[in-house]
Amino acid sequence: MKKTVLILLAALLLTACSNGNGGIQSVPADSQQNTDVVQTAAAGPQEVKSAKKDIFAMDTYMTVTCYGDRAQEAVDAAEKEILRLDELLSVGNPDSEISKLNEAGEGELSNDSKIMVEEALAVNERTGGAFDITVYPLMQLWGFTTQDYKVPKQEELKKVLETVGSGQLALKDGRLALGKGQGIDLGGIAKGYTSDRLMEIFEEYGLVSGIISLGGNVQLYGTKPDGSLWKCGIRDPHASDSDSSLLGVLQTADCAVITSGAYERYFEEDGKTYHHIIDPATGYPADNGLISVTIVSRQGILADALSTACYVMGLEKTIDFWKSSPEEFDLILMTADDEVYVTAPLKDAFSTDYPVHVIE
């Protein structure tokens, strides 16, 4: 990802949920060092302690903000957990569990990886294969793993596509065996799992409230310290590197708000843009009419996998999918012709300048 994009994203994510005076504020790009900020926030009659940290991990800028007597301890524990999971899962690190598994073609899964692989297989099944962790060899072919981007030749793509399919994976007694030529990448689900883990940590430390912003993923612990709802800004996919316009703002609490968009990681060749969400059916970047997919759910892991899956599935299939289990998650979608769709339960909580269609 280009550095400017990273910085913009970081600034945007910091503003993604307002935590102070209720407004969406912009944060200077140079505030992105790994810093500790301890402050107090007004919360009704009593002051609540707070702590905040910016962390670069999982190839993205993250911010953890905690409120409560043990806020600083919670932030430190959260950072430790993020770094532990990054080390375990990163396909960019040859010593990670996932790299070793890809290298050996099989291996014992840690408890964390097992939960993610099981969820990934379940979502693969439920989305007709739109979410598939075996896209890894395709990610490599397109150069997304090395930033050595290129549009693959048809024959190369066809060959690699044969290795893609979660049906070729075998998970038994905590051991995962890959099919011939297969590799897995948990990049579409890892941040959601991580933010769920941080919610557990926040609980352990008895926090009043907390927010985490992990590269387009936001998860909220409770309400704001004063009891009001958080305001989560969702990035406008048309925003350029230098502006941070919003698609809209969602007022909510106690849930994950996770967005997949083509702008997160992409390259251009011959005037065409190629992004990092791959359609496992074609081997090409997904191009099914959606340009931004936000999933709102209590479960970060589900929201993360579904944001990628729905991006691949396109509008119609995504709407049908939501109708089959509306109690599990909600949607905010933007189509390539700038139509915004929101599921009925979010109707009043979401504000936008775009015309909105409500999915009932």
**CA 171, chain centre distance (Å):** 25
Phi first, then psi: what are they for 347, rounded to 5°? -45, -50
**In the complex, least distance from residue 187 CB atom to Mg ion, rounded to whole angstroms:** 8
Q: How far is CA 177 from CA 62, 109, 167, 196, 348, in A?
A: 32, 10, 11, 26, 46
Those residues whose C-beta lies under 8 Å from the C-beta of residue 113, and which sit 6 or more positions away, are 88, 89, 97, 98, 176, 186
Q: How far is the CB of 54 from ligand ADP (least distance, A)?
A: 17
- Exactly one of 7, 43, 139, 349 binds ligand ADP (CB under 6 A); that residue is 139
Is 187 a binding residue for ligand ADP by CB under 6 A? The answer is yes
Number of residues that bind Mg ion (CB under 5 A): 4
Ranges within 305-344 binding ligand ADP (CB under 6 A): 307-308, 312
Q: Which is nearer to ligand ADP, 235 or 276 (by Cβ)?
A: 276
- Compute the least distance from the CB of residue 27 to ligand ADP, in Å: 20
Binding mask 246-285 for Mg ion (x = CB under 5 A): ----------------------------------------
Binder among 15, 72, 308, 318 for Mg ion (CB under 5 A): 308
Contact set for ligand ADP, span 191-210 (CB under 6 A):
191
Binding mask 144-183 for Mg ion (x = CB under 5 A): ----------------------------------------
- What is the x/- site pattern for ligand ADP, positions 272-311, by CB under 6 A? ----xxx-x-----------------------x--xx---
Tell me how many residues contact ligand ADP (CB under 6 A): 22
Q: Should residue 133 be labelled a site residue for ligand ADP when binding is judged by CB under 6 A?
A: yes
* Residue 188 touches Mg ion, criterion: CB under 5 A: yes
Q: CA-to-CA distance for 299 and 326, rounded, in angstroms?
A: 14
Determine contact, residues 302/315, Cβ cutoff 8 Å: no
CB of 306 to Mg ion, least distance (A): 8
Residue span 25-64 as binding mask against ligand ADP, x where in contact by CB under 6 A, dash where not: ----------------------------------------
Which residue stretch of 62-70, 91-99, 184-192, 202-210 sits at the interface with Mg ion (rule: CB under 5 A)?
184-192
Judged by CB under 6 A, does residue 188 bind ligand ADP? yes
Q: Which residues of 23-38 are buried (b: 16+ CB within 10 A; e: fewer)?
A: eeeebeeeebeeeeee
Among 185, 196, 236, 330, binds ligand ADP (CB under 6 A): 185
318 interacts with Mg ion by CB under 5 A: no
Residue number, 133 or 161, with CB nearest to Mg ion: 133
Q: Please report how close the Cβ of residue 43 comes to ligand ADP at its closest, in angstroms.
A: 31
Q: How far apart are the two ends of the chain, measured CA to CA in Å?
A: 37
Identify the CA nearest to 215 among candidates 246, 243, 240, 194: 194
Q: Is 304 in the site for Mg ion (CB under 5 A)?
A: yes
Interacting residues with ligand ADP (CB under 6 A): 131-133, 135, 139, 185, 187-188, 191, 215-216, 260, 264-265, 276-278, 280, 304, 307-308, 312
Interacting residues with Mg ion (CB under 5 A): 188, 304, 307-308
